[in-house]
Amino acid sequence: MRALRLQDWRSTPELIEVPDPTPGPGQVVVRIGGAGACHSDLHLMEEFEPGTMPWNPPFTLGHENAGWVHALGDGVTGLSVGQPVAVFGAWGCGTCARCRVGVDTYCENPSGAPVPSGGGGLGLDGGMAEFELVPDSRHVVPLPEGLDPADAAPLTDAGLTPYHAIRRSWPKLPPGSTAVVIGVGGLGHVGVQILKATTAARVLAVDNRPEALRLAEECGADRTVNSGPSAAEEIRQATGGRGADVVLDFVGTDATLALGVATARTVGDLTIVGLGGGTLAVSFFSVPYEVSIATTYWGSRPELVEVLDLGARGLIRPTTTHFALEDALDAYRQMRDGTLEGRAVIVP
């Protein structure tokens, strides 16, 4: 089969022929119907060095995947060949307390996994290929009726990541509250949809690109703000001077973190989702009183089930552009150049 593989850190992936995978006991082979291209893949290609992660190339890219069950290993139950499924992308040890409740992202015994990695497409072979080997059937989630694999694929990360970040702040998003989304890209535009579908908050979206602000409006944002010098003051005025109850930073640079602090309400949440490399000085007087500042990573398997339900009901739907497997590098180029709207999905 063909697979887009990262052969080494700081290198361009290569589309090469590799053997078709065969499932062992408890494993599943998924025929890929869609594999999302994520901005974090660019970090793998362009920034990471040996030792940055506890795993290394070579491996097939693609950590947000969906398709159809192609083959089942011995002992797998509850799945059938041809069944449409999504792949939960974070693969932990399966035995620690976190993994047992489906929060493999925060596995506390990563060395206990069969092959220590971040998951498929993150150290192990992912879904930018015709087939993906999933090492444990618990990571394979049946799709709700009416949700196509190509539409489901980006939900496994571009949907799950903002959903997890927003879900943890639900108690602070009742009627009368305000949420600010900074960065209306591949994750941020889905975050706007999730806020509108699952909370009563007023949603303000911030970006410096006119096309991104238009996308935010299409996704239901109540107001858009250009991230210029007056952005903080505009957000303060829009919230009656109080600030936002929840700020979600999908960029994570020095400038966006500073904007988050400047616009957060006392006792609010500032959640950092983006990997922009910024830093934030935190002291008693540097942030509003009792603001909770957190980073967040991906989401849990039970949350993925909830996200897929929202997708099947049409309440969240990422804006996507489809690419053939041989055109995957062009998808990454558009992502790097900032010309890609929404999310790229590779469809083998």
User: Residue 270 maps to which CATH number?
Assistant: 3.40.50.720
Grouping H, G, I as helix, E, B as strand and the rest as coil, residue 255 is helix
- In the predicted model, what is the mean pLDDT of residues 53-69? 95
To the nearest whole number, what is the mean pLDDT of the chain? 95
pLDDT band at 115 (very low <50, low <70, confident <90, very high): low
- Say which residue, 40 or 142, is predicted with more confidence: 142
The verdict on 196 and 309 lying in the same domain is no
The parent domain of residue 181 ranges over: 160-295
Q: Show the tokens assigned to 271.
A: 């959640």
The verdict on 9 and 43 lying in the same domain is yes
- The DSSP call for residue 33 is E
pLDDT exceeds 90 at position 227: yes
Pairing of strands 2-6, 14-17: antiparallel
The structural domain count of the chain equals 2
- Say which residue, 53 or 266, is predicted with more confidence: 266
pTM of the model: 0.95
Q: Phi then psi for 346, rounded to 5 degrees?
A: -90, 125
The verdict on 14 and 111 lying in the same domain is yes
How many of the other CB atoms lie within 10 Å of CB of 202? 21
The verdict on 11 and 145 lying in the same domain is yes
In sequence order, what are the residues at sequence separation of 6 or more whose Cβ sits closer than 8 angstroms to the Cβ of residue 23?
29, 71, 72, 73, 76, 133
Q: Which residues pair with 320 in a beta bridge?
A: 343
282-331 per-position pLDDT tens digit: 999 999 999 999 999 999 999 999 999 999 999 999 999 999 999 999 99
DSSP string, 197-239: HH---EEEEEES-HHHHHHHHHTT-SEEEE-STTHHHHHHHHT
The predicted pLDDT at position 54 comes to: 84
